[in-house]
Amino acid sequence: MSWSPNVHTYDAVLVRTSPWGERDRLTVLFEATHGILRARAISALESGSKLAPLLVAPALGRFTLARGRSPIPVLANVELTERLARWRAIGLSIRVAGVALAVLEGLDAPEETNRLFFQLSTDLLRSNPSVHPLSALAVFLVHALGILGLLGGETNCSLCGTAFTADIIAAAPDLRTFICARCFNRLYGKAEVSVILVNREHLELLHRMAITPLSESGRLELDTDALSFIFSLACARLDNILPGAVSALLPLTAAACRT
């Protein structure tokens, strides 16, 4: 294909496809600079389509988009570099990949944030889903919260800033703040308030996970209690900005709580 100002090729993650009319498919991509891109795959629903076998998410590849009069460009060519079929092999890996892809699709972020999430998601998708997939997802979520500025000094009191010394820390019901016993007593005294109690070990685990590469997530040996805490924290803090990701994560959170 000859180059023109309206034809561009992107290295991207294939996030999702869905039917568009009777013949075509809408393709959703995530690219490191632009974030979400959408393109129309012409005739991708028809029998014998050359594009159809390539449009199975998740996958990594080079996608050529041609822009015309329509606000949605046409997907002109696909060169897959990694099909990532292992993420579609079993139910658990499908659900884990679904959370990561939902995070990407829901992002509306500046270029630097897109770049960080592109690297984070490709690191996850290039890992082995048969080895500790839930631990890998937990590390992915902790890093995602950090990138979005939703995770800070959780080893310190959210109000006074001092390091936690007690084994049990009071947390708001939405898991947005963690406060020490002194601040809790100063604020509420003997009043009845709704709180949950969090182990200091959980908060220290957050710090370790924030500096753990995805490739080493299996070494954390996360138990179901830790997974439940991380998933619940992610659901609480992402609820307002990435509701689609939370919807994908909730079944895994419920499963961790039941185990």
Q: Which tens digits make up the pLDDT trace of 113-150?
A: 999 999 999 999 999 888 889 999 999 999 999 999 99
What number is the average pLDDT over the span 237-244? 94
pLDDT of 2 > 50? The answer is no
Q: Which residue has the tokens 């009191």?
A: 157
Give the whole-angstrom CA distance, residue 100 versus residue 227.
Answer: 16
Give the per-residue pLDDT at 115.
98
- Residue 3 binned pLDDT confidence (cut-offs 50, 70, 90): very low
pLDDT at 1: 41
57: tokens are 């998410």
At residue 133's C-alpha, the angle toward residues 215 and 235, to 5°, is: 105
Query: Quick one: 7-83 is in which CATH superfamily?
Result: Nucleic acid-binding proteins (2.40.50.140)
167 pLDDT higher than 60? yes
How crowded is residue 124: how many other Cβ atoms within 10 Å of its Cβ? 27
Kindly report, residue by residue over 27-83, the tens digit of the pLDDT: 999 999 999 999 999 999 998 999 999 999 999 999 999 998 888 999 999 999 999
Whether the predicted pLDDT of 188 surpasses 90: no
pLDDT at 178: 87
Task: Give the DSSP H/E element, type plus range, for residue 224.
Answer: helix 224-238
Mean pLDDT of the chain: 90
User: By C-alpha distance, which of 93, 106, 20 is closest to 55?
Assistant: 20
